[in-house]
Amino acid sequence: MKSTLYLPEGVEDLLHPDAWRFEQFRRKVLDLFVRWGFEYVEPPVIEYLDALLIASSDDLDLQTLKVLDQASGRQLGIRADLTSQVIRIDRQRYGAHGTQRYCYAGPVVYASSLTASKSRVPFKAGAEIFGAGNVVADAEVVNLMLEVARMSGIVEPVLLLGHMGVYKSLMEALLEAGDLAPEDEPRLFRSVQLKSQSDVGRLLKESQLSDFMKKLPMTMSNELDVIAAELVGAPEGVEQAIAELRELLELIDISAASLRFDVAELTGYGYHNGPVYSLYHPKFGSALAQGGRYNGLAYADEDRPAAGFDMDLRMFVEEIKPNVEELIFAPFGEQDNRSDLMALVVELRDEGKNVVCALTSNEEAPNSCTHYLAYQSGKWTVAELV
């Protein structure tokens, strides 16, 4: 008989004590977001597919699980990204006007694992700012991202800064010059994203513009001046992107992090169009957090500025220091003193203590218990388990 007790590949349970430690961490992250002035929103796990894919990209479409809504006959999607949902909320609630700040925390579902070791059900927490079109908003997002890492106990993370304007300016100039075929642009994006110089070269005709794009995957440094020197003579949009990174750098607190620049950091699902930022640490095989600017993403007739980041909170489970909490075991009380026992249990719980009550006379205290209720000298008292 085939067992039904297995989970799909890339899907896992989170059990005690990790699950409770994770939940406490989630609350701390959301509390931090709220202290910074972000409003908490909780979008549904499923929506109509066209709303979920408002931040249109082929990668996002491929990662979105789709089902048919039996009530309406329309296609539903199980979210693989929360940014599209926050865009919808911003549009519906505020008509996409004014500066608004949102935060969220919830699971997303991937149709397939991004890598062999990645979960298909990451738990994303993030923050988004709408309506602020300057780099001050990007700096706010980056500083918040760094603060989450600090609060999580991540020591000396690496902040990687890039700018989608470098790639987009070169790509548009290549298309205009005829050095890149329009149908090859998605392959070029993927090749730069994968830092494959040979694949980039095969897609381009020989030209000075092509030379800039060919070396883009390896254009990275700890110093922004080095990046700027590598791109001297590139289209004007590249120079503007470098200038914006300089301005952003002045507003970021990097006292507790290392800094690196990578203008080929084409992060996320490819819908960013300004500064992009990622947080790394040698202990982890992938980015701890990623984000960027995505102005005018949702509606072609409105240039709604937006910037934000998200992170998979489950990546931090091993880094969260266990919070040893007192847990009191209440034995199964006999009839003559049970009322006194239960009165003390109620009193302790009202004081915020954690108390687990035995349900049978032979039930033993769980391993996680630190104290127990003992009947001594005619009354119940709290005693320490040894």
> Residues 55-85: pLDDT tens digits?
556 778 888 999 999 999 999 999 999 998 9
In a domain, 359, yes or no: yes
- Beta-strand pair 371-376/379-384: antiparallel
Distance (Å, whole) CA 233 – CA 321: 50
Show the CA angle centred on residue 71, arms to residues 69 and 76, nearest 5°.
20
Q: Are 143 and 253 in contact (CB under 8 A)?
A: yes
Let me know whether 146 and 12 are in one domain.
yes
| Spatial contact of 161 and 259, defined as CB atoms under 8 Å apart | yes
Q: How far apart are CA 105 and CA 69, in angstroms?
A: 25
Residues 254 and 187 in one domain: yes
- Measured in degrees and rounded to the nearest 5, phi and psi for residue 163 equal -150, 120
pLDDT at 117: 59
What are the helix (H) ranges across the chain? Answer: 18-35, 49-52, 58-63, 83-94, 135-151, 164-177, 185-193, 197-202, 208-215, 224-230, 236-249, 338-350
136 and 196 belong to one structural domain: no
Token pair for residue 332?
Answer: 């199964």
Question: 185-193 and 164-177 are packed helices; what angle lies between their axes, rounded to 10 degrees?
Answer: 140
Q: Which domain holds residue 175?
A: 158-280
Instruction: Judge whether 231 lies within some domain.
Output: yes
Over its C-alpha atoms, the chain yields an Rg (Å, rounded) of 26
Q: Measuring CA to CA, which residue among 237, 279, 12, 271 is closest to residue 144?
A: 279
3-state secondary structure 267-309: CCCCCCCCEEEEEECCCCCCCCEEEEECCCCCCCCCCCCEEEE
User: Among candidates 381, 327, 323, which has minimal Cα distance to 352?
Assistant: 327
- Is there a domain that residue 313 lies in? yes
Number of domains in the chain: 3
Residues 201 and 244 in one domain: yes
The full DSSP string for 97-149 is -S-EEEEEEEE---SS-SSTTS-SS-EEEEEEEES--SHHHHHHHHHHHHHHH
Q: What is the token pair recorded at 51?
A: 């709303």
Ranges of the chain with pLDDT below 50: 300-301
For residue 138, the model assigns a pLDDT of: 97
Is 37 found in the same domain as 65?
A: yes
**Residues 66 and 100 placed together within one structural domain of the fold:** yes
CATH code for the domain in which residue 128 is found: 3.30.930.10
Distance between CA atoms of residues 197 and 217, nearest Å: 6
Does 2 fall in a domain? no
Q: Say if 3 falls within a structural domain.
A: no
Asked if 294 and 147 sit in the same domain, the reply is yes
298 lies in the same domain as 343: no
Q: Is residue 1 part of a domain?
A: no
**Sheet containing 65-68: order of strands:** 46-48, 75-78, 65-68
Domain shared by 55 and 203, yes or no: no
Element (H, E) at 79: none
pLDDT value at residue 301:
46
Question: Could you report the per-residue pLDDT of 195-205, keeping only the tens digit for each?
Answer: 999 999 999 99
User: What is d(CA 202, CA 264) in angstroms, rounded to the nearest whole number?
Assistant: 18
Give, as one character, the DSSP assignment of residue 313: G
208 inside domain: yes
Q: For 146-196, what is each residue's pLDDT tens digit?
A: 999 999 989 999 999 999 999 999 999 999 999 999 999 999 999 998 999
> Left, alpha or beta for 153 (phi > 0: left; psi -120 to 50: alpha)?
left
Judge if 236 and 136 occupy the same domain.
no
Supply the pTM of this predicted model.
Answer: 0.89
Same domain, 272 and 299: no
* Same domain as 269, residue 218: yes
Domain presence at residue 170: yes
Handedness of CA 90, 93, 97, 99 (dihedral sign): negative
